């Protein structure tokens, strides 16, 4: 380890109301890597002091500490109140995971959990393993990583977490603060004053260097349909913007539009899809303007893709994803109403609707001469 490197004491507390009957056994390896692990078989805290005694430990050294909390609840639990209470007692820098089978499947419970203070809602053991590994690597437990990086000088603007490197901050911001409103600040890495810290860190200080999004004015949106129960895969957007379709801008004009659609699905909802039709084209190409074009595709999961693998690890692309029915659209915030409100009911309630072919309609071809489908 490099000299002066700070090694955190990483604490993990698992609260459960059901004796771990449904906790995948393989997660124990990840849990055991924390310096201090405590399992609490109750969600009842008679007082704030009782809670604090459960999550605080006698520290023999003056090492800085981190706190990760996994709330493992079965479907009998209404998690909202308990998450809110845990967040207010544990502080902003704690990482709180809700492991809850119903919240994973329900778009409104998912959103509610984040609003109440959860950082992640999952029932996917691989996703949780990944995140716990990232947290440990960030905070000085990953000794190889620590030796390479030394100790960072960056303090998080939002929660005050200290001693981070630029790379730590890049992982930390979406994991710990995905629902935090975008904010202005002076960047501690390059010292620039920026209007949107989240976008700035994402685009300028990634592990493999700057990766500024090319804003070429042409994008794809994707209606990903699961026919078995007529649900559609939606992105849970960052900064509490509600749900929307997976989609985004082309990575420059050389990227085919369908490739863009598949890539955005992988990034935003974590699923491999097959594009099967072209539903709609919206555009504004009025003379004298930069103009924009948005193509909405119809897609289904690739055959080998498992619906249960939908993304639950927050990163700069999204807070996660969820399968949503046409009826559920009334009960969740939407980043934009137009496309889901039009296509979800039509595709799920009109079985004789024929998916339009994967082709730019003749009368719009002149708008797409510079683009490969």
Output the smallest distance, CB 69 to Zn ion, in A.
Answer: 15
Output the smallest distance, CB 323 to Zn ion, in A.
Answer: 30
Q: Which phi-psi region, left, alpha or beta, contains residue 109 (left: φ > 0; alpha: ψ -120 to 50)?
A: alpha
Q: Which is nearer to Zn ion, 189 or 310 (CB)?
A: 189
Q: Which is nearer to Zn ion, 181 or 291 (CB)?
A: 181
Q: Which is nearer to Zn ion, 125 or 203 (CB)?
A: 203
44 Cβ contact list (under 8 Å, min separation 6): none
Q: Which is nearer to Zn ion, 72 or 172 (CB)?
A: 172
Distance between CA 126 and CA 141 in Å, rounded? 20
Ordered DSSP codes for 179-213:
TSPP--EE-TTT--EES-HHHHHHHHS-TTS--PP
Q: What is the DSSP letter of 361?
A: -
Output the smallest distance, CB 157 to Zn ion, in A.
Answer: 7
Task: Count CB neighbours of 150 within 10 A.
Answer: 14
Distance between CA 373 and CA 360 in Å, rounded? 8
Output the smallest distance, CB 156 to Zn ion, in A.
Answer: 3
Asked whether the beta carbons of 246 and 300 are under 8 A apart, the reply is no
Q: Which is nearer to Zn ion, 36 or 159 (CB)?
A: 159
Distant-in-sequence contacts of 211-214, Cβ < 8 A, 24+ apart: 213/249, 214/249, 214/250, 214/251, 214/252
Asked whether the beta carbons of 204 and 198 are under 8 A apart, the reply is no
Residue 11 φ then ψ, to 5°? -105, 140
13 Cβ contact list (under 8 Å, min separation 6): 37, 38, 39, 40, 54, 55, 67, 68, 69, 70
Q: Which is nearer to Zn ion, 23 or 238 (CB)?
A: 238
Asked whether the beta carbons of 312 and 289 are under 8 A apart, the reply is no
Residue appearing with tokens 């949503």: 324
Output the smallest distance, CB 270 to Zn ion, in A.
Answer: 24
**95 forms bridges with which residues in the sheet?**
68
Output the smallest distance, CB 299 to Zn ion, in A.
Answer: 35
Output the smallest distance, CB 191 to Zn ion, in A.
Answer: 7
Q: Which is nearer to Zn ion, 16 or 139 (CB)?
A: 139
Chain residues that interact with Zn ion, rule: CB under 5 A = 156, 158-159, 161, 176, 187, 189-190
The tokens describing 259, both together, are 């490739």
CA-angle at 319, arms to 33 and 25, nearest 5°: 35
Q: Which is nearer to Zn ion, 191 or 306 (CB)?
A: 191
Output the smallest distance, CB 164 to Zn ion, in A.
Answer: 9
Distance between CA 200 and CA 60 in Å, rounded? 39
Task: Count CB neighbours of 139 within 10 A.
Answer: 24
What does the longest C-alpha to C-alpha distance in the chain come to?
Answer: 74
Q: Which is nearer to Zn ion, 103 or 135 (CB)?
A: 135
Q: Which is nearer to Zn ion, 151 or 161 (CB)?
A: 161
Output the smallest distance, CB 89 to Zn ion, in A.
Answer: 17
Output the smallest distance, CB 190 to Zn ion, in A.
Answer: 3
Asked whether the beta carbons of 69 and 86 are under 8 A apart, the reply is yes
């Amino acid at each position: 380890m490099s000299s002066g490197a700070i090694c955190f004491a990483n604490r993990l507390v698992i609260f459960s109301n059901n004796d771990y009957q449904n906790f995948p056994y393989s997660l124990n390896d990840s849990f055991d890597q924390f310096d201090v692990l405590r399992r609490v078989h109750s969600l009842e805290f008679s007082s704030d002091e009782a809670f604090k005694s459960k999550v605080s430990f006698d520290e023999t050294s003056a090492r800085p500490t981190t706190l990760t909390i996994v709330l493992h609840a079965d479907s009998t639990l209404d998690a909202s109140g308990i998450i809110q209470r845990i967040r207010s007692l544990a502080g902003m820098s704690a990482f709180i995971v809700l492991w809850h089978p119903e919240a994973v499947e329900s778009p409104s419970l998912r959103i509610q959990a984040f609003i109440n203070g959860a950082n992640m809602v999952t029932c996917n053991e691989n996703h949780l393993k990944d995140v716990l590994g990232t947290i440990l690597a960030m905070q000085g437990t990953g000794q190889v990583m620590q030796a390479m990086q030394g100790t960072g000088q960056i303090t998080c603007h939002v929660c005050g977490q200290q001693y981070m490197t630029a790379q730590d901050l890049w992982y930390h911001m979406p994991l710990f603060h995905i629902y935090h409103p975008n904010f202005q600040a002076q960047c501690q890495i390059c010292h620039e004053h920026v209007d949107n810290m989240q976008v700035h860190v994402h685009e300028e200080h990634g592990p493999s260097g700057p990766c500024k999004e090319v804003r070429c004015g042409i994008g794809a949106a994707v209606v990903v349909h699961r026919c078995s129960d007529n649900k559609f895969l939606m992105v849970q957007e960052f900064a509490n913007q509600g749900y929307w379709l997976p989609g985004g801008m082309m990575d420059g004009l050389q990227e085919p539009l369908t490739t863009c659609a598949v890539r955005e699905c992988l990034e935003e909802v974590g699923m491999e899809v097959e594009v099967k039709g072209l539903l709609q084209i919206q555009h504004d190409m009025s003379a004298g303007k930069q103009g924009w074009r948005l193509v909405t595709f119809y897609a289904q999961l690739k055959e080998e893709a498992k619906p249960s693998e939908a993304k639950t690890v927050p990163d700069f692309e999204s807070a996660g994803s969820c399968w949503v029915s046409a009826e559920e659209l009334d009960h969740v915030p939407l980043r934009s109403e137009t496309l889901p409100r039009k296509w979800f009911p039509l595709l799920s309630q009109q079985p004789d609707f024929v998916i339009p072919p994967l082709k730019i309609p003749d009368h719009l071809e002149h708008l797409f001469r510079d683009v490969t489908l």
